[in-house]
Chains A and B, each alone.
Chain A
Amino acid sequence: MKRIVQIGFILTLLFAVNSFYANAQCKGFAKKICRAELGSYTHDGNYHAAILVEGEEAELYKTFYSDQDYRVAICGSDNLPTIEFKVIDANKNILYSNAEDEYSRTWDFKLESSQQLKLVIKVTTFEELSDDPASGCVAIMFGFKAD
Chain B
Amino acid sequence: MKNRLLQKTVYFLIAVFAFSLLYSCKSGGKEDKQDTVEITTVDEEVLREVNEAKKIFYSLPSPLESAMLIKSAGAEFNEELLNPTQNTSRYTTNKQMALNLGIYTCNLSFASLYDQTQLVIDYMSAAREMADGLGILDAINDETINKLEENVNNREVILDIISETFLNSNSYLEDNEQPAIASIVLVGGWIEGLYIGTQLVDMDQFDSNKLVGRIIDQKLSIGIMLHLLNDNNQHPSIPGIIEQMEELKAVFDKINIKTTDIKPEIDEQTNVTILKSTVETDMTTEVFMELAEKVREIRSSYVK
Q: Which residues of A contact B (CB under 8 A)?
A: 3-4, 7-8, 11, 14-15, 18-20, 22-27, 30-31, 35, 42-63, 65-69, 89, 91, 93, 95-96, 107-116, 133, 135, 137, 140, 142, 144, 146-147
- Residues on A with C-beta less than 8 A from B57 are 48, 58-61, 140
Find out whether the CB atom of B51 lies under 8 angstroms from the CB atom of A63: no
Cα A26 to Cα B21 with chains together (Å): 14
Q: What is the distance, in angstroms, from B69's C-beta to the closest C-beta of chain A?
A: 6
Q: CB distance B167 to A147 under 8 Å? A: no
B: number of interface residues (CB 8 Å) = 76
A135 to B55, CA, bound (A): 14
- Asked if residues A95 and B59 are in contact (CB atoms below 8 Å), the reply is no
Q: From DSSP, what is the main secondary structure of chain A's interface residues?
A: mixed
Nearest B residue to A90 by beta-carbon distance?
B259
* With A42-B160, A44-B163 as contacts: A93 and B261 at CB distance below 8 Å: yes
Which among A65, A110, A114 is the interface contact of B273 at CB below 8 angstroms? A110
Closest residue on chain B to residue A111 by CB atoms: B275
B1-38 CB contact bits vs A (8 Å, 1 = yes)? Answer: 00000100110011011001111111111000000000
For B222, the closest partner residue in chain A by CB is A63
B68 and A147 contacting across the interface, CB-CB below 8 Å: yes
Chain B residues 47-66 with CB under 8 Å of chain A are 47, 50-51, 53-65
Taking CB atoms, residues of chain B closer than 8 Å to A18 are 21, 24
Known: A45-B62, A59-B56, A60-B58. 12 other contacts (CB 8 A): A31-B164, A31-B171, A42-B64, A47-B174, A61-B58, A62-B59, A65-B217, A93-B261, A108-B270, A110-B275, A111-B274, A115-B220
Which residues of A have CB within 8 Å of B271? 108
Residues of B within 8 A of A57 (CB): 54-55
B175 within 8 A of A: yes
